[in-house]
């Protein structure tokens, strides 16, 4: 909260400075032409329920698909720590036996999964959300641009921190490509009585777990969820389903506008394609036309858009 208050104070200072300067004709024209999307009426779902739906979908996408693999990875790490404990207590025979057992288990695992380079250990989720609307985004980006133009780079950096609205998913992996070799090196050192060297190798192996982080913009996730809710609504028997579904789609449009304003996938042509698909879908709903195929098309576009921009996958 302190960071947000500080950034808003800086924003106010820069905005005041801007107001005191003369605006050129070109700047006036740009301001006049800038159309700020209006925030629609709140959709028929609470923010908490919407986030819960998003959390479930993301966790399904990023969950460790093979729990046995995770258990195996944790077991390997625990056994490595056991070896270190035995070495520290000068129980060399137990350390060697435990290490030999560990190497054997790794060899069996690699034989069963020859192409498995990373073994998942755990997944963590974090939400970093700046609750802002599009006018506030434009205020912040305008002030940050002015700060950049005037050489106040640190001020600009602080302002832009408030444009973060994303879910961060970190997956920790055991690197099978290097871990078995490290265990063999440690075993060789231990056989030669080089306990300090063996300890150093084992500690390094434990500290070189691979961490892969994916950042997913919350406005894009919310837009995707609103589209799903609209599809479910249209498939229901609710009397007001048309109005409710359209409201969901209008909220999806706004979230896409917000994502673009915040710089998530900036200037990507697919934002325009998604808006057009929503526009066509809303018209079909209003005219009582069949919408299942159009919903499927829109959801596929959203999926491809999200995967290509934020999972770094190429479109097929």
Q: Residue count of the chain, please give it.
A: 316
pTM of the predicted model as reported, rounded to 2 decimal places = 0.77
Continuous H helices in 63-133:
67-88, 92-112
Q: Looking at the predicted structure, is the pLDDT value of residue 79 above 90?
A: yes
Can you give the pLDDT at residue 6?
Answer: 41
Residue matched to tokens 């006049």: 32
Can you give the pLDDT at residue 13?
Answer: 46
Find all residues with CB under 8 Å of 7, minimum gap 6, and list them. Answer: 140, 158, 159, 161, 162
The domain limits of the chain are: 47-63+217-310, 67-117+176-208
Can you give the pLDDT at residue 12?
Answer: 47
Can you give the pLDDT at residue 305?
Answer: 87
Residue matched to tokens 């005041």: 16
Q: How many CA atoms lie within 13 A of 144 on its CB side?
A: 18
Of 12-26, 29-43, 102-116, which range is least confident? Answer: 12-26
Of 21-30, 160-169, 233-242, which range is least confident? Answer: 21-30
Can you give the pLDDT at residue 39?
Answer: 84
pLDDT (tens digit per residue) in 20-51: 443 343 333 333 345 788 888 888 889 899 99
Can you give the pLDDT at residue 94?
Answer: 95
Mean pLDDT across the chain: 84
Sign of CA dihedral 280, 281, 285, 289: positive
């Amino acid at each position: 909260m302190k960071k947000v208050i500080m950034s808003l104070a800086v924003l106010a200072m820069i905005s005041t400075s801007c107001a005191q300067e003369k605006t050129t004709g070109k700047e006036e024209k740009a301001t006049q032409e800038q159309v700020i999307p209006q925030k629609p009426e709140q959709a028929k779902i609470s923010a908490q329920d919407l986030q819960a739906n998003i959390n479930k979908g993301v966790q399904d996408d990023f969950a460790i698909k093979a729990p046995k693999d995770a258990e195996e990875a944790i077991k390997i790490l625990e056994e490595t720590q056991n070896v270190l404990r035995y070495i520290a207590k000068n129980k060399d025979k137990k350390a060697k036996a435990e290490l030999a057992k560990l190497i054997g288990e790794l060899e069996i695992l690699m034989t069963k999964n020859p192409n498995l380079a990373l073994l998942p250990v755990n997944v963590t989720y974090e939400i970093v959300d700046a609750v802002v609307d599009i006018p506030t985004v434009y205020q912040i980006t305008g002030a940050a641009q002015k700060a950049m133009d005037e050489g106040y780079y640190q001020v600009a950096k602080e302002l832009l921190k408030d444009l973060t609205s994303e879910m961060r998913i970190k997956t920790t992996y055991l690197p099978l490509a290097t871990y078995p070799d490290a265990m063999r090196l440690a075993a060789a050192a231990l056989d030669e009585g080089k306990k300090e060297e063996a300890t150093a190798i084992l500690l390094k192996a434990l500290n070189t777990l691979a961490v892969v982080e994916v950042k997913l913009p919350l406005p894009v996730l919310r837009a995707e969820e609103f589209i799903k809710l609209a599809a479910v609504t249209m498939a229901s028997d609710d009397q007001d389903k048309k109005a409710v579904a359209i409201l969901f789609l209008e909220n999806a449009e706004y979230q896409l506008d917000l994502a673009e304003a915040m710089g998530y996938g900036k200037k990507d042509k697919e934002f325009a394609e998604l808006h057009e698909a929503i526009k066509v879908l809303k018209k079909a709903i209003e005219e009582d036309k069949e919408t299942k195929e159009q919903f499927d098309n829109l959801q596929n576009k959203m999926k491809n858009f999200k995967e290509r921009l934020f999972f770094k996958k190429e479109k097929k």
